[in-house]
């Protein structure tokens, strides 16, 4: 565990917590409604969107994943734009008919950091994905975000997602978590 610096030990105000919650809910809505360009707009240019692989190991063999390991996502802005471009090509057959997804964001905690413009935000994302005729999948991930205030507005600068699933239970991860 990292030592909390003095600043991060100061509890986030209700006002800040409310602002962060609203940001995450809005983000969830943009993803549910497939407004991916608007979603890209609320990310910082130096975004790191990361969901490392997961293996089951004995406790004594624990390994903390790094960005040099395998990952579901290890994206910068360039790669996130590529994913959005795929949906825009008009030939993305597997997304037509469209996937239906609901992001439920909960367990939100906000912490100050040493940088007055950045906050560490913990949350739980629970995504229900329904697609094709009748396929329903549930994905639950623990998110650790860094939100940065840019020109007065919050933006997502970093996201790390740890999925509960050891074997990813579905054929595709076609939604952002």
Partner 1 sequence: MSNDTDYHQFIDNEEGWVDRRIFWEEEIYERELKQIFAKSWQFIAHDSMIPNANDFYTTYMGEDGVIGARQKDGSVRVFLNSCPHRGNKFCFADEGNARSFICNYHGWSFGIDGKLGALANEHVYDEGDIDKEKWSPKQARVETYKGLIFATFDPEAPSLDEWLGDFRWYLDMMFDNDGETEFIDGGIKSYVNANWKFGVENFIGDAYHALWNHDSGLKAMNNGEGFGPAVTENSYHASVNGHGWEFGTDGYADVVIGGSEKWLNYVRDIIKPKIKDKYGELRSNIFGSLASVSLFPNISFLPGIQTFRVWLPRGPKKLELRVFTIVNKNMPEEIKQEINNACMMTFNPAGVLEMDDGENWEGNTQVNKGFLTRQEKLHYGCGITREIEHEELPGIIYKGQFNDANQRHFYTRWADLMNADSWNDVPTRYTPRHTKTSK
If binding is defined by CB under 8 A, does position 134 make contact with partner 1?
A: no
Residue from 4, 9, 10, 70 in contact with partner 1 (CB under 8 A)? 70
Residue from 79, 102, 130, 153 in contact with partner 1 (CB under 8 A)? 79
Two tokens, residue 96: 């037509």
Alpha-helical segments (H) within 45-101: 77-88
- Taking the complex as a whole, the smallest distance from the CB of residue 60 to partner 1 amounts, in Å, to 8
Do residues 129 and 99 lie in contact, with contact meaning Cβ atoms separated by under 8 Å?
Answer: yes
- Taking the complex as a whole, the smallest distance from the CB of residue 146 to partner 1 amounts, in Å, to 20
Peptide bond into 84 cis (omega under 30): no
If binding is defined by CB under 8 A, does position 37 make contact with partner 1?
A: no
Residue 110: which of 9, 42, 30, 41 has the closest Cα? Answer: 9
**The sheet that has 153-163: what strands, in order across it?**
71-75, 43-52, 153-163, 135-150, 118-131, 100-112
Query: In Å, how far are 18, 83, 121, 142 from 88, measured between CA atoms?
Result: 33, 9, 31, 29
Segment contacting partner 1 by CB under 8 A, of 17-25, 36-44, 49-57, 141-149: 49-57
Positions 85 through 124 that interact with partner 1 (CB under 8 A): 85-87, 89-94
If binding is defined by CB under 8 A, does position 167 make contact with partner 1?
A: yes
- For residue 44, what are the contacts with CB-CB under 8 A and spacing of at least 6? 148, 150, 155, 156, 157
- Taking the complex as a whole, the smallest distance from the CB of residue 46 to partner 1 amounts, in Å, to 16
Residue from 41, 82, 107, 138 in contact with partner 1 (CB under 8 A)? 82
If binding is defined by CB under 8 A, does position 29 make contact with partner 1?
A: no
Size of the site for partner 1 (CB under 8 A): 40
* Contacting positions for partner 1 (CB under 8 A): 51-53, 55-58, 60-61, 65, 68-75, 79, 82-83, 85-87, 89-94, 132, 166-174
């Amino acid at each position: 565990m990292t030592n909390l610096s003095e600043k991060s030990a100061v509890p986030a105000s209700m006002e800040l917590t409310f602002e962060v919650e609203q940001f995450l809910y809005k983000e969830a809505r943009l993803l549910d409604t497939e407004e991916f360009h608007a979603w890209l707009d609320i990310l910082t240019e130096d975004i790191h969107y990361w969901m490392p692989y997961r293996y089951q190991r004995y406790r004594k063999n624990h390994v903390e994943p790094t960005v040099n390991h395998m990952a579901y996502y290890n994206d910068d802005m360039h790669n996130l734009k590529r994913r959005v471009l795929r949906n825009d090509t008009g030939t993305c057959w597997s997304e037509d008919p469209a996937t239906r997804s609901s992001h439920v964001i909960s367990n939100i905690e906000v912490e100050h950091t040493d940088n007055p413009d950045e906050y560490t935000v913990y949350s739980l994302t629970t995504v229900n994905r329904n697609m094709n005729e009748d396929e329903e999948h549930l994905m639950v991930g623990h998110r650790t975000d860094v939100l940065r205030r840019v020109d007065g507005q919050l933006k997502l600068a970093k996201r790390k997602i740890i999925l509960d699933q050891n074997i990813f239970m579905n054929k595709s991860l076609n939604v952002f978590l």
